[in-house]
Structure 1
Amino acid sequence: MQWIEIDGSKGEGGGQILRSGLSLSMITGKAVSFTHIRAGRSKPGIMRQHLTAILAAQQVCAAQVSGATLNSTELTFIPGQIKSGDYQFDLGGAGSCALVLQTLLPALWSANGESRVKLIGGTHNPMAPSASFLQQVWLPLMAKMGAKATLVVHRCGFYPAGGGEVEVTIDPVKQWQALHLPQRGKLIDIGAQSLIAGVPESVAFRELNIVKQQLKADESMLCSVDVSSARCAGNALLVKLQFEHLTELFCAIGTKGKAAAKVAQEACDEAQVYLKSAAAVGEYLADQLLLPMAIAGEGSFTTPVITDHLSTNAFVIGQFLNCRIDIQSVHQGIEVNIQRQ
């Protein structure tokens, strides 16, 4: 049996090393041993959302696993055959549904039948892609690559209660397609949504007014959305930039004691940094495109900067797949090329 050994302290030293390693282990059938898991974080080791991802991956491919306990810094994962089916996983709090989904989806796309996954947890979290980001940005690009999935948010989940419900239907990939994103194309629309649960409507009004002023968004493209079915009070501001070749979404999370103006400013600042760059893909989307493009065997994009997440993900992919990932400076910023060898 071929074993891949991954030192979790490499690069950014976070949970992405674990998630990408699990995805690639399932797809390639290669056993993997992780050490120093999340050594770069203030609380190293496996946290609850990482444990959910591990146990979910184990269930999807009938893996043999050891070390899958909270706070563990070592894990071995021996994958079996990927099985399509109906799955449900509960993160037990506000852990990110999106990060668990991104661990599972590459494997379920390679299964031999349709799958459904229901996740209960956080849908709009700080320091993680939102369910809205997957729905409006990442999955449409995956569909262009031949990997189709439909995501529905039945209930939003905010910190600390979580309890959000996300359901995804996944079709098996018939043939992966290369995706090349050298440019984002013409700007079509700028819009924003303010999601509010248990907070005054005036919060949404103030956030959207700042987006209107700073990004020159048309009022018809701004709206507040009542998501009061959420288990606790919460607020998320989503700024959406729709271009000819892709959509980008910037999310800022409102928390207790945080002014609406600060929430709006965070989202607007991220959007403006992206708009001022000439690159096609924002820095967060960049490292989420790398793995599916490597699986497809070909792809490319431009992005403003090389992040630790991007270079670390490239390192992990290189442990499993025989593909070349070239990262070089160009006039738009950074160009990333992926090619199977």
Structure 2
Amino acid sequence: MTGDYLEIDGSIGGGQILRSALSLSMVSGRPFRIRNIRSGRSRPGLLRQHLTAVLAATEVCGAEVDGAQLGSQTLDFQPGEIRAGDYRFNIGSAGSATLVLQTLFPALLHGPASSRVRIVGGTHNPAAPPADFIERSWLPLLRQMGAQVDFRLLRHGFAPAGGGEIECEVAPARLTPLHLAARGEVLEQRALALIGNLPGHIAERELQRVARRLRWPQEQLHQRAVASAGPGNILLLKIACTDVCELFSAIAQTGVRAERVADQAIDEARAWLLSEAAVGEHLADQLLLPMALAGGGSFTTHRSSAHLESNIQVIRQFLQTDIRVEPLSDTRLRVTIGSTA
């Protein structure tokens, strides 16, 4: 393998460092070497989800790769030309299908023709954006930036069984800057508890908690049973505003009461609502890379995070991009992305 490699320290964050590096490498054509992949995690190195992202990126751009094995903590990646195609990737576990999609998405936007990608794995995972978030929060903003994309959730997949599937069709597009100073007027508030192979009273208790703490009326509370390979439950809180739609969620886990699951989503939603910021913590992190590729953009958010800070570091390594984080108040800060060239 040849080329001048960007040296990336994977210890500054988790799997997101690898995913952002893959996305940026495919689009920019710059090879990279990442060491200490997920070194601070209980299971360091590449898990199936991360390995799938690497192998998928390799296929999409014809890359040369060294270190693409489960558990590897070092990876060399030299991208080739992005190729349009009809792709299907199977994580082989409940690893997040949405995170693999987000890794590939920038490259598919820069492809020579439209592509379709199907990914089998987890669609509703702890510590990953659920498929509903991709569909209702992230992609609508990408469409405002010029993306032409269709997304479908084909099957629900909860951890640990997985078996879910998503499909995305992406046309080549040039992203344009987007500025989100405020969220606008609240237009809709809706809670949805999804249940797969579990008793319905779990969803009922979560929704009762939402009603009590957020004072949302009964007509805004919904539950739905879904087909899935294994048991699972997620609470989704949708808050649609004039300029942005936020979706806060919490996944049921063994030994955690339904009320506590609901509290996790409620606490996030309340913190965002009280801040008057445009986007929440997770959406903020996931807008950085598209805005950098668009050549500019800005948004307000209610808190910084380790993900946001580590993502900024990786983007700066690949692109001549100035990213500024400015506090506006105790509960609001502004992130501005713009080229320094």
User: Shorter chain as normaliser: what TM range?
Assistant: over 0.9
Aligned to 1:3: 5
In 2, Cα distance between equivalents of 1:68 and 1:54: 7
- SS of equivalent residue, structure 1 residue 185: coil
The answer to whether structure 1 residue 95 and structure 2 residue 95 are counterparts is yes
What is the letter of the counterpart of residue 275 of structure 1? L
What is the letter of the counterpart of residue 93 of structure 1? S
In 2, Cα distance between equivalents of 1:9 and 1:160: 26
What is the letter of the counterpart of residue 4 of structure 1? L
- SS of equivalent residue, structure 1 residue 84: coil
Q: Percent identity?
A: 49
Aligned to 1:273: 271
In 2, Cα distance between equivalents of 1:21 and 1:203: 39
Aligned to 1:256: 254
Aligned to 1:186: 185
In 2, Cα distance between equivalents of 1:157 and 1:324: 38
Question: Once the 2 structures are TM-superposed, how far is the Cα of residue 225 of structure 1 from its aligned partner?
Answer: 1.4
In 2, Cα distance between equivalents of 1:294 and 1:40: 27
- SS of equivalent residue, structure 1 residue 106: helix
Q: What whole-Å deviation, never above 9, does each CA across 1:61-120 have from its counterpart, x for those lacking one?
A: 000000000111100001000011110011111000111011000100111111111111
In 2, Cα distance between equivalents of 1:243 and 1:300: 18
In 1, Cα distance between equivalents of 2:20 and 2:150: 21
Q: TM-score, normalised by structure 2?
A: 0.96
Q: Which is worse superposed, 176-185 or 55-64? A: 176-185
What is the letter of the counterpart of residue 299 of structure 1? G
Aligned to 1:237: 235
Aligned to 1:283: 281
- SS of equivalent residue, structure 1 residue 314: helix
The answer to whether structure 1 residue 82 and structure 2 residue 111 are counterparts is no
Aligned to 1:71: 71
What is the letter of the counterpart of residue 42 of structure 1? S
What is the letter of the counterpart of residue 339 of structure 2? R
In 1, Cα distance between equivalents of 2:257 and 2:150: 34
Question: Once the 2 structures are TM-superposed, how far is the Cα of residue 219 of structure 1 from its aligned partner?
Answer: 2.1
Question: Once the 2 structures are TM-superposed, how far is the Cα of residue 5 of structure 1 from its aligned partner?
Answer: 1.1
Question: Once the 2 structures are TM-superposed, how far is the Cα of residue 183 of structure 1 from its aligned partner?
Answer: 0.6
Question: Once the 2 structures are TM-superposed, how far is the Cα of residue 58 of structure 1 from its aligned partner?
Answer: 0.2
1:324 paired residue among 299, 322, 325: 322
- SS of equivalent residue, structure 1 residue 189: strand
Q: What is the aligned residue count?
A: 337
What is the letter of the counterpart of residue 19 of structure 2? R
Given that 1:155 and 1:164 are in contact with CA atoms closer than 8 Å, whether structure 2 keeps it comes out as yes
Q: Which is worse superposed, 85-94 or 196-205? A: 196-205
Question: Once the 2 structures are TM-superposed, how far is the Cα of residue 151 of structure 1 from its aligned partner?
Answer: 1.4
In 2, Cα distance between equivalents of 1:169 and 1:213: 40
Question: Once the 2 structures are TM-superposed, how far is the Cα of residue 255 of structure 1 from its aligned partner?
Answer: 2.6
Aligned to 2:161: 161
Question: Once the 2 structures are TM-superposed, how far is the Cα of residue 200 of structure 1 from its aligned partner?
Answer: 1.6
Aligned to 1:336: 335
**Which structure 2 residue ranges, 5 or more long, are not aligned?**
none
User: Which aligned pairs between 1:114-129 and structure 2 lie closer than 5 A?
Assistant: 114-129=114-129
What is the letter of the counterpart of residue 332 of structure 2? G
Given that 1:190 and 1:218 are in contact with CA atoms closer than 8 Å, whether structure 2 keeps it comes out as no
Q: What whole-Å deviation, never above 9, does each CA across 1:233-273 have from its counterpart, x for those lacking one?
A: 11111011111110111111113343221111111111111
**Which structure 1 residue ranges, 5 or more long, are not aligned?**
none
Aligned to 1:214: 213
In 2, Cα distance between equivalents of 1:311 and 1:233: 35
Q: Which is worse superposed, 33-42 or 237-246? A: 33-42
C-alpha RMSD of matched pairs (Å): 1.1
Aligned to 2:305: 307
In 2, Cα distance between equivalents of 1:192 and 1:87: 34
Question: Once the 2 structures are TM-superposed, how far is the Cα of residue 8 of structure 1 from its aligned partner?
Answer: 0.7
Q: TM-score, normalised by structure 1?
A: 0.96
What is the letter of the counterpart of residue 136 of structure 1? R
Query: Does the C-alpha gap of structure 1 residues 308 and 257 become closer, same or farther in structure 2, counting only changes over 3 Å?
Result: closer
In 2, Cα distance between equivalents of 1:41 and 1:132: 27
In 1, Cα distance between equivalents of 2:4 and 2:224: 50
The answer to whether structure 1 residue 297 and structure 2 residue 295 are counterparts is yes
